[in-house]
Structure formats: structure tokens, C-alpha cells
């Protein structure tokens, strides 16, 4: 056993973050920790490794714990061998991806029996994620991994912890196993709710029938004289008592019927049929013989890209390969780029400059919306923006909330050519799946830069890799 915790509780002010009865981490554990943004995943790791004190409970640590931090800050000095393995030179670490690689190298260099990895794919490119996957798969100790990379959670985890509403639930298997089990639970909960509603209606209907039968028995039948009714009355009285008892029994069953709550469901919204006019040209955009230089270095060198109308084209490549540069050149209509005249572009960039800081989330979305307000609200709900979030000013939003607002604004704008630069950054797993479902139904043209392998696998019609200044179809 590497760690044991019992009855741990953490609060911030009057807000309870979690209250967990028991946690056990065994030798060689392969744990994925999932939950919505803000549920306390990082706080739980902080409490378990002693960086933050629990308000209540007992934690026993039986080994050293290494940590990969979400902010890419290294803890300790990495071994030269580990630095080399990750393709780094310590003297030349500048980008976010390089800093995260260095933090990974430092954590693995400690060879601790237990590793806590908090969003270790942050800023990593595909090659970096693949290297991390190999390192975690071959790790001799146990680990707890917080990640929004579904493929990584599938590839390296054998147990999933779900933190929801302050409680921790444990599932055997990887991410896909957890997702399948959650789906079965929702379906069973829906079935139980429907059966409860049917039984409730049946009992109410039966009670009404019994009461009506009892009422009718109190009146003498037609064509029955008074003397006959007096003779019949004793028999009718006994029958009436029986009917009354039946009614009482049914009322008792109704009162004691176990209530089943309706499972929470997102508003159903489909991207099909939205105000999106089809692009008539075969290609929504073309890039031919594009060269872009920065400080004398050719970031793109005679690059070519063909974006077919109505299809979903994805761009992948290493950090600094030129993916965002390519999108920027296209948006700026630089020489060598072409966008068809009937394209109405919706552009999602990582700087989120299109948002108006002084306006609320809903005001931002409605300002450019081609859809009615109820559709706008449903799209935001599918991105896990609650009712209370819609009236927040953009200036007070978190990074993840800003991303959701910008994407919601774009999806209801009526654009027929969506260009998305890393749309899943800062997203939790639930929001990513909501976005994925809507993009799958989007009837316009998509051009997406993404390091999310599962998103690419599920949606992409064509995948280009940007490498050494060129674009090639994978």
C-alpha cells in the first residue's frame, strides 16, 4: 500500500469541495482522476500529497510522492538521460511545451513509488503525448493521472476515480469502460424513472375508479323500490367497505411508492438544420506555395493545403511547427492563400479576442447569433454553461469559461466555415464530448488545429501534418 486516507474533508469558506470516506492507493496503481472543471481534482491531489491540509480526516503516506504540476513548474532537477529522452536541452527551454517536458523529466527522475500527474499533456504536441504515454505505461510505481486526454486515459489507466458533487466514486477499467458504465447507469435511471411514472399514473387512475365505484354504491339502483333497497343495503354496505379498503390500500401504496428522480439531461440541440448555407465551390479554402518567415527562419516553406467544402479537415504537428501561423496567414489572406467568396467564416483563436469584456456570456453570444435565444441557451448548456453562468460578465470568467463562451458564440453565428485553433484547451472531458457531438452534426466546413487524438479520430475526414514547413496528408 502506498497511501490510505479516511474521512477527508476540504472546504473553502462555506463551500465544501469534497467529503470522501476512504481512499486506498495500492502498489502499481494506474488511476485516472476525472471530473468537471472546478470539482476539486487538483485540490484532492494537494491534500493527498500534503501540500494542502485537510479540514478533517486522516491520511497515511507510506512512500515518497512525485508531482507533475499543471502549471508546468518543475520540481527538482531532472536527470540528463531523462532530459535527452524527451528531446530537450535545459539551456534552451522557452515554450510551454518545452517547460512541461522538463517538468515531466524532473518528476520521472525522482523514481518515486507514487506519482501524481496533474494535466501533464498541457501544451504538449502529439509527439510529446506519445512519449508521455510510453513513460507512464512503463512506470514502475503507481500513479494518479488527471487528464482531459481520453486516449491517454484509455491507454494507461486500469481504474477511474470520478469526483462529482464532493464524492469520489471508483470504477474498474479505463476511460472507455467508465464512460460505458456511466451510460448504462443513466439508461437504467431513466428506465426506473419511467416505470415510477407509469405506476404512479396507474395507481392514481385506480384510486379515482375505486372512489367512483364507492360513490355509486351509496345510491339505490334505478327501478329498485325503498323496501328492496333496505334489503340490499346490508349487502351493498359490505361491498362498499371492501371497495373502500381497496382504495385505502392503493392510496397507501401510492404514498409509499419509492420516488425515482428524473435523470439530469442536457437540452437536446442539433446542429442540423441551423442557419448554415452550403458553400457552392468545391474548395472552401486553398493554400498554395505559402512561405512565411520569422527572424530569418522559414516557419512555412511552400506549404500547400486544400480544404474541401462540407468536410472536416484537421491539422496536427509539433509545437512550433507552424499550424497557428498557417491559420493566421489564411485569415489575413496572405499571398498564396484563397478563401471562396460565399464562405462565412467563424474563427476561434487561442487569444479569444472576439469576446466583449463588459458584456455577459449570453449578451456576447446573442450579439452575433443567427439562431433564436432558446437555441443559443441550449448550445451553451451542451458546453456545460449553467443558467447562472450566462449572466456573468466575460471579464470575470475563467479560462475554460471563456473558451466555452467563444465556441458557443461561433456555433450559433450562422457561419458555414468554422476555423478552430485548439478548441479543447482548458476543457474538461464532459465539455469536450458535448462539443464533439455538436461538431459531428455541423453541416458546414471545418478546419481544426488539435492535439486531441480522440477528437481527430472521431471527426476528421482528412488529416494534414505540418512538419518542416510543409503540409502532408496522413
pLDDT tens for the chain, 474 residues long, are 999 999 999 998 888 899 999 999 999 999 999 998 878 899 999 999 999 999 999 999 999 999 998 877 777 777 777 777 777 665 555 567 778 888 999 999 999 999 999 999 988 888 889 999 999 999 999 999 999 999 999 999 999 999 998 999 999 999 999 999 988 888 888 888 888 788 788 878 877 776 776 666 555 555 555 555 555 555 555 666 666 667 677 777 777 777 777 777 666 667 776 767 889 999 999 999 988 888 778 888 889 999 999 999 999 988 878 888 899 999 999 999 999 999 999 999 877 777 899 999 999 999 999 999 999 998 999 888 888 889 999 888 877 888 899 999 999 999 999 999 988 887 888 888 888 989 998 889 999 999 899 999 999 999 999 998 898 888
* Cβ contact 438:290 at 8 Å: no
* Cβ contact 17:42 at 8 Å: no
SS3 108: helix
Q: How far apart are CA 204 and CA 111, in angstroms?
A: 66
pTM for the whole thing? 0.78
Helical (H) or strand (E) element with 458? helix 453-459
Q: Which residues contact 144 (CB under 8 A, 6 or more apart)?
A: 25, 29, 31, 32, 33, 45, 48, 114, 115, 116, 117, 161
Provide the edge-to-edge strand list for the sheet that holds 445-449.
345-348, 417-421, 445-449, 312-317, 462-467, 470-473
Q: What 8-state DSSP symbol labels residue 391?
A: G
Amino acid at each position: 500500500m502506498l497511501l490510505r486516507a479516511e474521512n477527508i474533508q476540504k472546504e473553502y469558506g462555506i463551500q465544501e469541495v469534497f467529503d470522501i470516506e476512504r481512499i486506498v492507493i495500492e502498489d502499481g496503481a494506474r488511476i485516472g482522476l476525472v471530473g468537471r472543471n472546478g470539482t476539486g481534482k487538483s485540490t484532492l491531489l494537494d491534500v493527498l500529497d500534503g501540500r494542502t491540509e485537510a479540514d478533517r480526516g486522516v491520511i497515511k503516506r507510506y512512500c515518497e510522492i512525485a508531482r507533475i504540476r499543471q502549471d508546468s513548474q518543475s520540481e527538482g532537477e531532472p536527470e540528463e538521460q531523462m532530459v535527452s529522452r524527451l528531446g530537450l536541452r535545459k539551456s534552451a527551454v522557452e515554450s510551454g511545451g518545452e517547460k512541461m517536458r522538463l517538468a515531466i523529466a524532473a518528476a520521472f527522475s525522482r523514481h518515486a513509488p507514487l506519482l501524481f500527474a496533474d494535466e501533464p499533456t498541457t501544451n504538449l504536441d502529439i509527439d510529446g503525448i506519445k512519449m508521455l504515454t510510453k513513460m507512464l505505461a512503463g512506470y514502475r510505481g503507481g500513479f494518479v493521472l488527471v487528464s482531459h486526454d481520453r486516449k491517454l486515459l484509455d491507454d494507461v489507466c486500469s481504474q477511474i476515480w470520478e469526483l462529482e458533487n464532493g464524492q469520489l466514486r471508483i470504477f474498474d477499467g479505463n476511460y472507455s469502460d467508465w464512460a460505458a458504465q456511466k451510460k448504462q447507469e443513466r439508461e437504467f435511471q431513466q428506465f426506473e424513472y419511467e416505470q415510477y411514472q407509469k405506476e404512479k399514473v396507474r395507481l392514481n387512475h385506480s384510486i379515482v375508479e375505486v372512489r367512483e365505484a364507492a360513490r355509486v354504491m351509496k345510491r339505490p339502483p334505478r327501478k329498485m323500490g325503498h323496501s328492496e333497497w333496505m334489503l340490499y343495503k346490508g349487502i351493498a354496505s359490505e361491498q362498499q367497505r371492501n371497495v373502500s379498503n381497496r382504495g385505502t390500500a392503493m392510496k397507501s401504496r401510492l404514498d409509499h411508492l419509492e420516488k425515482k428522480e428524473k435523470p439530469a439531461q442536457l437540452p437536446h440541440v442539433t446542429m442540423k438544420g441551423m442557419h448554415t448555407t452550403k458553400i457552392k465551390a468545391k474548395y472552401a479554402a486553398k493554400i498554395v506555395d505559402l512561405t512565411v518567415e520569422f527572424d530569418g527562419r522559414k516557419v512555412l516553406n511552400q506549404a500547400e493545403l486544400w480544404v474541401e467544402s462540407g468536410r472536416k479537415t484537421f491539422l496536427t504537428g509539433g509545437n512550433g511547427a507552424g499550424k497557428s501561423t498557417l491559420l493566421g496567414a489564411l485569415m489575413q489572406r496572405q499571398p498564396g492563400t484563397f478563401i471562396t467568396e460565399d464562405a462565412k467564416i467563424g474563427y476561434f483563436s487561442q487569444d479569444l479576442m472576439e469576446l466583449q469584456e463588459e458584456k455577459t456570456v449570453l449578451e456576447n453570444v446573442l450579439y452575433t447569433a443567427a439562431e433564436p435565444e432558446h437555441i443559443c441557451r441550449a448550445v451553451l448548456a451542451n458546453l456545460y454553461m449553467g443558467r447562472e453562468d450566462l449572466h456573468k460578465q466575460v471579464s470575470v470568467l475563467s479560462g475554460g469559461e471563456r473558451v466555452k463562451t467563444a465556441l458557443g458564440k461561433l456555433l450559433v453565428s450562422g457561419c458555414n466555415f468554422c476555423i478552430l485553433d485548439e478548441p479543447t484547451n482548458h476543457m474538461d472531458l464532459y465539455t469536450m464530448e458535448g462539443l464533439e457531438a455538436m461538431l459531428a452534426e455541423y453541416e458546414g466546413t471545418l478546419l481544426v488545429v488539435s492535439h486531441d487524438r480522440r477528437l481527430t479520430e472521431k471527426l476528421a475526414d482528412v488529416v494534414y501534418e505540418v512538419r518542416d514547413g510543409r503540409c502532408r496528408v496522413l
